[in-house]
Amino acid sequence: MSLVFAAGCGSGGASLGDPPAGVSVGEVAGEALRASAAPFIGTAELFGIEVDATRPSAAGPQALRQVAPGGCGSALPVGFSPGKTTIQTLLSGGMKRTYRVHIPTTASTAKPMPLILNFHGRSGTGIDQEITSGLVPLSDREGFVLVSPDGTGTPMGWSAGATEPNSIDDVRFTEDILNTLTKQLCVDPARVYATGFSNGAFMSSRLACQIPDRIAAVVAVGGVDFPAPACKSTVPVLAIHGTADSIVPIEGGIVRQWQYGGAYDAIEDWAASNGCRSVTEATQIAQGVNHGRFIDCAAATEIVTIEGCDHLWPGYPGVQAGSPASRVSGAELVWNFLSQRRAGSPG
């Protein structure tokens, strides 16, 4: 398993046989904490979000790159089977790279399927992230292709966020994966998503900013970032973060000698880039778990905070029963948000 987990909010007591209860955000009603006409003022009492006149201006509307799904109408390629995970390799930037592909049990070659890119944290691997995220069972249940790539380096990671500038082009690697899989499988190019944990969350954030014509929406767990002065277009973004995160501090701080502005600042930047014009509304979706939504946005911009929890994926195997992180399933939060988004469609 990835070495980047921190133990706060309970790291013992549950086993792989004790799956966390799923919580669907859309099924939980709550009370808006306050209303104001001022732009980019969130629920400051709950989330600590404040007005900043230096926020980036709104980006242009998201437009889908036209990519025809090449695998529709044909049998699954050799090596791919419904309900199975395979390790695939390709050359990207002159390097041999690997990624895991899980084909859902309900895989279709007639109807294009959604696809989720699932990026591990630093020191992790694709298989670590498969286990940690809990997304394989949802892939089978909901019918999406799950892709869990492997990073590079020692410790293994992604060229995003706190990683020092280097020659590894992980955006190109991601595009090479997508170009390959859209030829092999019946994938809906308007429903390609990205999620990740920690350094993988930074990577997902980078993809949303740099190739929004390929990424319909992202969920960044323990590491949302706004990686440029301005991003190319609006992209739906959900951040999930523990309020006591000691590795990637929610209020900002030093992450591997990199000055991280914090999850609140990053989601504020995304709110501005996504054209949000009103305050957030906040609900408590479980005890100790708060969900803030910006409203009047060109693209959904949301944040879920987990009270008193350190650097972890909510609901991962090993979370202590009864802790706030055990009361929600990160996998369910991810899919609930992503499944409602389609590239080029409002929100």
Q: Is the pLDDT of residue 17 over 60?
A: no
pLDDT value for 243: 97
The angle at the Cα of 288, spanning 120 to 264, to the nearest 5 degrees, equals 60
pLDDT band at 12 (very low <50, low <70, confident <90, very high): very low
**DSSP letters along 221-262, please?**
ES-----SSS-SB---EEEEEETT-SSS-TT-EEETTEEE--
pTM to 2 decimal places? 0.85
Question: How many Å from the N-terminal Cα to the C-terminal Cα in the chain?
Answer: 35
Q: Is the pLDDT of residue 280 over 60?
A: yes
**DSSP letters along 92-121, please?**
ETTEEEEEEEEPPTT--SSSPEEEEEEEPP
Instruction: Supply 276's token pair.
Output: 């949000």
pLDDT value for 179: 96
Least confident of 52-66, 92-106, 211-225: 52-66
Domain 25-338 grouped into CATH 3.40.50.1820:
yes
Block residue for tokens 């995304």: 270
Strand partners, 290: 284, 305
pLDDT digits (tens, 9 = 90+) for 73-120: 889 999 999 999 999 999 999 999 999 999 999 998 889 999 999 999
Q: Is the pLDDT of residue 250 over 80?
A: yes
pLDDT digits (tens, 9 = 90+) for 325-347: 999 999 999 999 999 999 867 66
pLDDT value for 196: 98
Mean pLDDT (the chain, rounded):
84
pLDDT band at 41 (very low <50, low <70, confident <90, very high): very low
- 3-state secondary structure (DSSP) of residue 72: coil
Q: Is the pLDDT of residue 293 over 50?
A: yes
φ/ψ bin of 40: left (φ > 0), alpha (ψ from -120 to 50), beta (otherwise): left
Q: Taking residues 49-55, what's their average pLDDT? A: 53
- 3-state secondary structure (DSSP) of residue 200: helix
* Cα dihedral 237, 344, 144, 210 sign: negative
pLDDT band at 69 (very low <50, low <70, confident <90, very high): low
- Residue 15's Cβ-side half-sphere holds a number of Cα atoms within 13 Å equal to 1
pLDDT value for 346: 65
Q: Is the pLDDT of residue 9 over 80?
A: no
Q: Is the pLDDT of residue 27 over 50?
A: no
